[in-house]
Structure 1
Amino acid sequence: MEQRSSIDPDMVVDEIMRKWPATVAVVLRYKMLCVDCPIGTFHTVAEACREHRIGEGDFLGELEAAVRGER
């Protein structure tokens, strides 16, 4: 059975990076400025993707892969 990390578009970016440190590499790979950004403590994944003009589905998929250790 596949274990899900339960990352969804309404989760706060900072919370995700703290809970699953492997996701930081994904954020950096997308050249998002969320790491150490004070807004990262408030921005949801959906908001950050919109702000950085990044496809939410692809980004979420890569976050999930990082959590599972596939990236």
Structure 2
Amino acid sequence: MISKDMTISEILRRYPQTLPVFERYGLDCYDCQIADFEQLEHGATVHKADLAALLEELNKSIS
């Protein structure tokens, strides 16, 4: 299960199928150096994405 405390790169390493979800929400952080350190919650805030909806879609994509 994906949580808001996981880093973006950790999510993508474990679950590469989540990439389209990140793209839909405008989180292109996976392509930058900070992805190794940026938690999902922070990335969602910076990109003004709805964290609850993002988490729901990410978790659906891995089930």
> What is the TM-score of this pair, normalised by structure 2?
0.93
Q: What is the CA RMSD across the aligned residues, in angstroms?
A: 0.8
Query: Please, which runs of 5 or more residues in structure 1 have no aligned partner?
Result: 1-5
The structure with the larger Rg is: 1
**1:16: Cα distance to partner?**
0.2
- Structure 2 residue 55 is matched with structure 1 residue 57: no
One-letter code of the match for 1:48?
G
Q: Percent identity between the aligned chains?
A: 32
- 1:13-43 deviation line (CA, Å, top 9, x unaligned): 1000110011111001112121221111111
- Tell me how far apart the structure 2 counterparts of residues 58 and 30 of structure 1 sit (CA, whole Å): 10
> What is the TM-score of this pair, normalised by structure 1?
0.83
Q: How many residues align?
A: 63
- Tell me how far apart the structure 1 counterparts of residues 26 and 57 of structure 2 sit (CA, whole Å): 14
One-letter code of the match for 2:47?
H
Q: Which runs of 4+ in 1 moved over 4 A?
A: none
* Structure 2 counterpart of 1:15: 10
